[in-house]
Amino acid sequence: MTLRVAVVGGGPAGIYAADILTKSDVDVSVDIIERLPAPFGLVRYGVAPDHPRIKEIIKALDRVLDKPEIRFLGNVNFGTDVKLEELQEFYDAVIFSTGAKSDRDLGIPGEEHSIGAADFVSWYDAHPDDAPTWDFEGATRVAVLGVGNVALDVARVLAKTADEMLVTDIPAQVFEGLKTKQITDVHVFSRRGPAYAKFSPLELRELNHSPNVEVVVHPEGFDVDADGMEHIGKHKSQKMVLDTLANWVGRDEVGKPHRIHLHFMEQPAEVVTDADGKVVAFKTERTHSPNADGTVEGTGEITEWPVGQVYRAIGYKSDALPGLPWDERKAVIPNDGGKVLDLEGNHIPGVFTTGWIKRGPVGLIGHTKSDAAETVGHLLELTTETAPQRSDEAVDAFFAERGANVFTHEHWLKLNEHEIALGEAQERLRVKVPTREGMLDAGQS
């Protein structure tokens, strides 16, 4: 028997799921359906361009796509090009791994004048569905809300010079956009104390390596109470982060032209605009931690920071998929260990999920592997041959009739070569093609 499986979403979670399926005792045939021409999801369109070492994971993921049991069907959007009941004609099981691309809301006055980190990240990572330009609105000081790695990525890209970013894979439109930046000071705000900062120790220390950016850790709010001590006792990496921050707090500035300021125990209160709706300041409220569990409350002490833009890096959010149940509160597909559940809580036969759309947008690329293993375990246990049309040719005929311009793995390999060649000409590893038409052209011509 050969199980036929469709994976919807070609990010790391979907590719790991396909890989694990091929390593099982069962014969499988897997099609990965991806809305973009390029695979790899947020590894290509989320991980910061100046983190080439992490982007290298793409090479391992690409080797999976090379397996004979796996086909990549790019440039196909689930919901418009194909629906669940149509997929069930051709596949015994469908795994949804569509990840996350939107920003969470904050719920403060003036929020509509702030910018979601996901939009900015998509721009600097040259996502083909997003506008090619970015308006820094002449801001010299900006605020970034959040103390995770995405906040650090955003703060770093806002603070670094365009020339520093030119060694990366950014296309000309991003380089030109970054050159218009006049930002000298990036203020990063955390509502909790430094013991709870969720940065990776390596990413934090790396901030110090830029010749143009210095990190200023402000002493106000830099307090570690008994709960904070207990917390870092249980979380080794957060202890390393705290040690680094403690080394930097209050140190003398060395006079680099740009600064990233880290402020603790300041919670977002309001984005302040002028009569034309232009951001002129950001208000924060000092917090304190009166409870034994380390939670914080506002003290009523407000500070107004004169900034020209406010970036929210408080978390990504997944979007509901047409025809599938949705847990509005958690913004995930309701599931039990990857088995998709209907409104009564029963498993919908043959329908599974993995990655960020399964468990919410937290965790590193590596976490999507163990996640996929759990989902595939259930799939192999529960799935039988149910699809009436059991051939790749039937799938190809369906998409041809739909008028979908399927971008295959061979097309991606050609696009990949093209991007590497563009890079070589500029002594860079790669230069990304930033538009869908350009990607299709490079891969299919």
Ligand X SMILES: Cc1cc2nc3c(=O)[nH]c(=O)nc-3n(C[C@H](O)[C@H](O)[C@H](O)COP(=O)(O)OP(=O)(O)OC[C@H]3O[C@@H](n4cnc5c(N)ncnc54)[C@H](O)[C@@H]3O)c2cc1C
Cβ closer to ligand X: 34 or 92?
Answer: 34
Only one of the segments 18-26, 76-84, 189-197, 236-244 lies at the binding site for ligand X (rule: CB under 6 A); that segment is: 76-84
Contact 281, 272 (CB under 8 A): yes
CA distance linking residue 326 with residue 114, whole number of Å: 27
Among 356, 418, 430, 433, binds ligand X (CB under 6 A): 356
Task: Supply 318's token pair.
Answer: 């997944």
Q: How far is CA 244 from CA 187, 210, 249, 416, in A?
A: 18, 16, 9, 38
The binder of ligand X chosen from 42, 151, 310, 433 (CB under 6 A): 42
Binding mask 224-263 for ligand X (x = CB under 6 A): ----------------------------------------
Tell me how far CA of residue 158 lies from CA of 36, 214, 238, 410, in angstroms.
Answer: 27, 13, 24, 36
> Of residues 146, 338, 355, 434, which one binds ligand X by CB under 6 A?
355
Q: Which is nearer to ligand X, 282 or 316 (CB)?
A: 316
Alpha carbon of 310 to those of 110, 142, 158, 313, 355: distances in Å? 10, 6, 11, 10, 29
**What does each C-alpha distance from 56 to 79, 365, 371, 410 come to in angstroms?**
31, 12, 21, 20
Instruction: For 255-297, give the DSSP string.
Output: --SEEEEEE-SEEEEEEEE-TTS-EEEEEEEEEE--STT---E
How many residues belong to the site for ligand X (CB under 6 A)?
Answer: 36
To the question of whether residue 42 is assigned a binding role by annotation, the answer is yes
Binding mask 128-157 for ligand X (x = CB under 6 A): ---------------------xx--x----
Answer for which of 5, 7, 36, 178 binds ligand X (CB under 6 A) is 36
x-marked contacts with ligand X along 312-341 as a string, rule CB under 6 A:
----x-------------------------
Q: Determine the interface stretch with ligand X among 45-53, 138-146, 244-252, 393-401 (rule: CB under 6 A).
A: 45-53
Distance between CA atoms of residues 139 and 281, nearest Å: 11
Site track 364-403 with ligand X (rule: CB under 6 A), x = hit: xx--x-----------------------------------
Residue 350 near ligand X by CB under 6 A: no
Which residues neighbour 407 within 8 Å (Cβ) at sequence distance 6 or greater?
A: 37, 72, 73, 74, 75, 439, 440, 443, 444
User: What count of other Cβ atoms lies within 10 Å of the Cβ of residue 444?
Assistant: 16
Looking at 30, 64, 78, 189, which residue binds ligand X (CB under 6 A)? 78
Ranges of beta strands (E only) in 212-370 are: 213-217, 258-263, 266-273, 279-288, 297-305, 309-312, 316-317, 335-336, 339-341, 347-353
The stretch among 91-99, 131-139, 218-226, 411-419 that binds ligand X (CB under 6 A) is 91-99
Tell me the two tokens of residue 241.
Answer: 């982060």
Smaller CB separation from ligand X, 99 or 350: 99
Q: What x-and-dash track marks residues 100-119 binding ligand X by CB under 6 A?
A: x-------------------
Considering the rule CB under 6 A, would residue 121 count as an interface residue with ligand X? Answer: yes
Binding site per annotation, positions: 13, 34, 42, 191-192, 203, 356, 363-365
Which residues contact ligand X (rule: CB under 6 A)?
A: 8-14, 33-36, 41-43, 46-47, 51, 54, 77-79, 97-100, 121, 149-150, 153, 316, 355-356, 363-365, 368
